[in-house]
Structure 1
Amino acid sequence: MTETTLLTDHQAIRDWAGTRSGVPAIRDPAALIGITEPVLMIKFGLEAYADKDDSGADRPDELGRPRLVEWDEWFDLFDKNQLALVVSTEIEGQPDEFHEFVRK
């Protein structure tokens, strides 16, 4: 079983994400899929910036799309919802992207 670490410190979270080329993102509420609150995300690597050309009639706006945000906006939501970030404990030379959000 993988060991985990609980992160709540903003700089520690930024450092963890930055080591893995992670950037903050928020998926806005989307009634069509039943999301009523914004959802925090961390997007990694080039996936965060890829143009998926997912607009058009076959992808309604009501599905909600992740949008890249500044860390300040991300941490406002993180703190408001009293969250912590669970991550895999570091193994030297093997940065793992596993993470999940939990309530403090």
Structure 2
Amino acid sequence: MAKVLSGREEIRQWTQARAGNPIMMETPDVRESRYLLQLTFGQHALNAERNEGPDVNPYGGWELVDWDDWFAQLDKQRLSLRVNDDEPGTLSNDYEFVPREGSEEDQTTDAARKPAAITVQSPNPDDRAS
């Protein structure tokens, strides 16, 4: 069963319970910059060189941001998070962005609703520079 999180504190608590952090990427547009929002989970994703998220952008890529900046963009884009209810003994970090009530027409693509899947692998010791 899924539930929708709209309140700042409930989103922050849900994310922090899973060792998550807010990240954002600026993407230039014709009239103004747009910001893509994501949540990243796990220390490896935060330590990745020049990439704190799933993709690298020629304009700078994903950046770890503070909650106030992230929430400002979430509010501007009128989005909420849909998360799965946790099963006993597990904390799922699956989520997707959904429009807040009355803002469905503002969403133009599925990519705007669902973030890219992030896969984190343990580093291979053979790949380390000596």
- Give the TM-score normalised by structure 1: 0.79
Q: Which structure 2 residues correspond to residues 1-104 of structure 1 after superposition, within 5 A? A: 3-29=1-27, 37-52=34-49, 61-62=58-59, 64-104=60-100
Residue 84 of structure 1, CA deviation: 0.6
In structure 2, give the amino acid aligned to 1:10. R
In structure 1, give the amino acid aligned to 2:58. D
Pair 1:90–1:24, CA change in 2 (3 A) = same
Moved more, 9-18 or 42-51: 42-51
Query: In 1, Cα distance between the equivalents of 2:50 and 2:10?
Result: 33
Query: In 1, Cα distance between the equivalents of 2:82 and 2:57?
Result: 32
Residue 52 of structure 1, CA deviation: 2.8
Gaps of 5+ in 2: 101-130
Query: In 1, Cα distance between the equivalents of 2:43 and 2:49?
Result: 11
> Does structure 1 retain, via aligned residues, the 8 Å contact 2:80–2:99?
yes
Q: How many residues align?
A: 93
In structure 1, give the amino acid aligned to 2:68. D
Query: In 2, Cα distance between the equivalents of 1:50 and 1:26?
Result: 16
Residue 18 of structure 1, CA deviation: 0.4
Gaps of 5+ in 1: none
Q: Structure 1 stretches (4+) deviating beyond 6 angstroms?
A: none
Larger radius of gyration between Structure 1 and Structure 2: 2
> Does structure 2 retain, via aligned residues, the 8 Å contact 1:5–1:87?
yes
In structure 1, give the amino acid aligned to 2:90. Q
Query: In 2, Cα distance between the equivalents of 1:74 and 1:53?
Result: 19
